[in-house]
Amino acid sequence: MLRNALLCGSLIVAAIHPASAEDDFAASLRLRGGFDSNPQFSNGSGIGGSAFIGTDASMAAAHKDGDTSLGIAAEASQTQYANPQATSGLSGKVIMRGMLGSDDLNVSSVTTIADVSTYNLRSSDLIQSIKGEAKVGSFKLFATGEGARSSLNQTNAIFQDFLPEAQQYLRGTLIPGMAYVRGKFEVGASINLSMRRYAQEFDVFGYRRDNERIQPFVFAKYADKDFSVTGSLSQLRGTWHDPDFSNVKTLLYESNLHWRRDAWTLDLTAWKRANETTFPISPITIDAAYTGKLSWTVTPQLTLSAAAGYATTRYLDSPFDAQTATVAFGGSYDLGNDYALGVDLTYARGILISGDKADALILSSSITKKFSPFVSAAADDGKGSVARKI
């Protein structure tokens, strides 16, 4: 699936004519390696630690011609462990977007393809959404229709292994809403109407997982050069077809804050979301996360950072939950010519769904190369014009 997405993305990029003021392209490649004391985040009787090597790659390309714009973004990551008992981690995502129209009236299409394979998760998603938006004065009206096909397989506390076959389901969603925009501030409301239908009427445990959901939202955001804040609040109401699953009624939220002052940058995030699960006695999980990161630009080349986070996963209709707390320190040094060296140290401590305690220490170093040919070309053109003037 991911290979086909990358091929489609290549065709989109190939269709873009040679670089102009309305074309953009950026990419990065990071090579990393280090040691993970607990790569499968298990208790003391786990597989032990392991050295690892990894690769992270990302790219984004965009083209705008009048009222038409095309874009593609892709990212992929791989982690390979020296310990033969440690499962390699693989993930990839491709997002293709097209938009037709102006700021006052437009329609856009977004296609997302994602795959993840780790020691405790195997998932794939194909999502297609179409959004129409109209602006009347300070008011913005919008409606989004979305369809998705997903596959999910997870390990669990009862069987300690993946299911014999992944759970596959279809999702349909309709999101109408409106917002009021004034300057750098926006506030609005929407409602998310969705349904899920599984390929098999009964899962491997004999449960019906089909469900319908209603989720009204209120949201607001403010964005300035050095300060931005966004927030949303929603009430999820879900109805499941299986009588052994309780209907869900819970409050969800998401907020982000970014603040930069002089050499300091602060990022804070808090969210509470509902996620799918294959756990036999739970309809969904309610996940929450709280993270903070403080960065200090010591010199134009050297940046130091410290971060902390806390995450929880609650399995509804069961006594099970999981918790993880992390602390991380890092540094990055700009070598010039779009190269950078990085060093990161992360400590994680948590309580697993089984009730066991686990901790892990991860030390890694990396080298990153960024690619931005259009920016370089623009800079060269600028130098050329100055030279001609001289």
Residue-wise pLDDT for 240-259, tens only, equals 999 999 999 999 999 999 99
For the chain, give the percent of residues with pLDDT over 90: 82
- Is the pLDDT reported for residue 7 higher than 60? no
pLDDT digits (tens, 9 = 90+) for 168-217: 999 999 999 999 999 999 999 999 999 999 999 999 889 999 999 999 99
Mean pLDDT of the chain: 90
Which distant-in-sequence residues (6+ apart) come within 8 Å of 278 by Cβ?
152, 153, 154, 156, 163, 167, 203
pLDDT at 283: 96
pLDDT at 381: 55
Give the pLDDT mean for 293-316: 97
pLDDT at 86: 95
Residues 347, 148: Cα–Cα separation, whole Å: 36
- Is the pLDDT reported for residue 14 higher than 60? no
pLDDT at 186: 97
- Is the pLDDT reported for residue 285 higher than 80? yes
User: C-alpha distances in angstroms, 337 versus 8, 241, 340, 373?
Assistant: 31, 58, 9, 12
- Is the pLDDT reported for residue 272 higher than 80? yes
pTM (2 d.p.):
0.88
Residue 377 banded pLDDT, cuts 50, 70, 90: low
pLDDT at 133: 97
Residue 384 banded pLDDT, cuts 50, 70, 90: very low
Give the pLDDT mean for 111-140: 97
pLDDT at 388: 30
Q: Which two tokens stand for residue 316?
A: 């509804």
pLDDT at 380: 56
pLDDT at 55: 98
pLDDT at 378: 53
Residues 387, 45: Cα–Cα separation, whole Å: 68
pLDDT at 51: 98
Residue 46 banded pLDDT, cuts 50, 70, 90: confident
Between 141 and 163, the higher pLDDT residue: 141
The size of the chain, in residues, is 390
pLDDT at 107: 98
- Is the pLDDT reported for residue 294 higher than 50? yes
Between 376 and 341, the higher pLDDT residue: 341
pLDDT at 156: 74
Region at 336 (left for phi over 0; alpha for psi -120 to 50; beta for the rest): left
pLDDT at 76: 98
Say which range, 17-21, 25-29, 270-274, 365-369, has the weakest mean pLDDT.
17-21
